[in-house]
Amino acid sequence: MRHIVPFLSVIWAGGMLFTAPADAQGGQQRRATFAGGCFWCLEKPFQELPGVISVTSGYTGGESLDPNYQNYASGGHLEAVEILYDPRQVSYGELLDLFWRQIDPTDGGGQFVDRGLQYASAIFYHDEEQRLAAEASRSKLAERGIYGKTIVTPILPATTFYAAEEYHQDYYLKNPLRYRYYRQGSGRDRYLDQVWGKERKAWSVVELKRKLAPLQYQVTQEEGTEPPFRNEYWDNHSPGLYVDVITGEPLFTSLDKFDSGCGWPSFIKPVDGRRVAEYPDLSHGMVRTEVRAKVSGAHLGHVFDDGPNGMPRYCINSAALRFIPLERLEEEGYGAYKALFDKD
């Protein structure tokens, strides 16, 4: 992720003459720029969209040169993300749809808990085609009348985009717990749930189907079960952390994993009991206890009372988990969990 200055050229498309970034030539890549408050919260949804090549957090829209996190606001810049995408896989219209579902477009003084013009929302267009698409999208959204207020998100010509400091890039991956606490505390998701309701849930289903492999979706969202002895982690003996495949929330560690002979990953306990929920499951003519991840609501598996030495046996689907080896915990933002292995 580097400081990118657009180099423009004139091209003809759809009977219209407009300027476009040089990297758009040949249809391989296009560029989109959106401001929607804290740039950490825009990175994740766009990076999970198939067809998006990269998402960079940064500063744009101001007059000062080479802004940084300490002075970008005084230079008139907004926090924003610059997206490189493949138009053969995802359209600019789809990017706009996703953008509107991340922000409060009626708030001109910031976004959610973050106040000030540096946190305002904006669409920065890179060519005439994007401008027309953005204006049409904003008008269509206004016609729906779902806000009860005037939409104030401006549509502006793109200016020089300055990449933010490296520690801001992929923040949700580098610091997943801090990111989640910030996001939950910001009020963003509560507001979006209120505005979009069932539609946001339906949109989330579409996003999950794009993000997850078919088996992962079947297991986590449809209470499916993967084949025993033919799944990724049933015989994994490496030290490390098992996290929710959807949110990255830490769920289990290799320290509590044991070979139960059942063909699925088995653990005597979660890393933190507050991160899982247990429910009665009477399906398939059996009486069982289902285990779900509390934050994502994902189905993980079941818990039984036949573990070693009278301990429980959390029988968990590999498809519901992502394994992070011990040597990568620090790199992926889970450094606090290394202490568990030091005690072993």
Q: How many helices (H) does the chain have, and how many strands (E)?
A: 8, 19
> What CATH number is given to the structural domain containing 29?
3.30.1060.10
Question: Known catalytic residue: 38?
Answer: yes
265 lies in the same domain as 167: no
197 lies in the same domain as 291: no
What is the reported pLDDT for 201? 67
Residue 246's closest CA among 198, 291, 197, 295? 295
147 lies in the same domain as 47: yes
What is the reported pLDDT for 15? 26
What is the reported pLDDT for 343? 65
> What CATH number is given to the structural domain containing 239?
2.170.150.20
What is the reported pLDDT for 266? 98
Question: What are the tokens at 155?
Answer: 């549509």
In a domain, 219, yes or no: no
Could you give the CA distance from residue 237 to residue 196 in angstroms, rounded to a whole number?
A: 43
Contact 109, 152 (CB under 8 A): no
Contact 158, 124 (CB under 8 A): yes
Task: Kindly report whether the global pTM for this prediction surpasses the value 0.85.
Answer: no
Q: Which domain holds residue 35?
A: 8-211
What is the reported pLDDT for 47? 87
In a domain, 222, yes or no: no
Q: Which of 157, 179, 211 is the last residue of a domain?
A: 211
30 lies in the same domain as 153: yes
In a domain, 71, yes or no: yes
Which regions in the chain score pLDDT beneath 70?
1-27, 201-203, 343-344
Question: Which of 41, 49, 158, 315 does the annotation list as catalytic?
Answer: 315
3-state SS assignment for residue 218? helix
182 lies in the same domain as 277: no
180 lies in the same domain as 236: no
| Count of domains for the chain | 2
265 lies in the same domain as 149: no
In a domain, 221, yes or no: no
147 lies in the same domain as 268: no
144 lies in the same domain as 262: no
What is the reported pLDDT for 203? 63
What is the reported pLDDT for 109? 97
What is the reported pLDDT for 174? 86
Q: Is the dihedral of CA 285, 287, 293, 297 positive or negative?
A: positive
In a domain, 2, yes or no: no
319 lies in the same domain as 233: yes
Question: Known catalytic residue: 41?
Answer: no
Question: Which of 24, 38, 245, 293 does the annotation list as catalytic?
Answer: 38
In a domain, 216, yes or no: no
3-state SS assignment for residue 72? coil
29 lies in the same domain as 129: yes
Digit-coded pLDDT (tens) for 119-151: 999 999 999 999 999 999 999 999 989 998 999
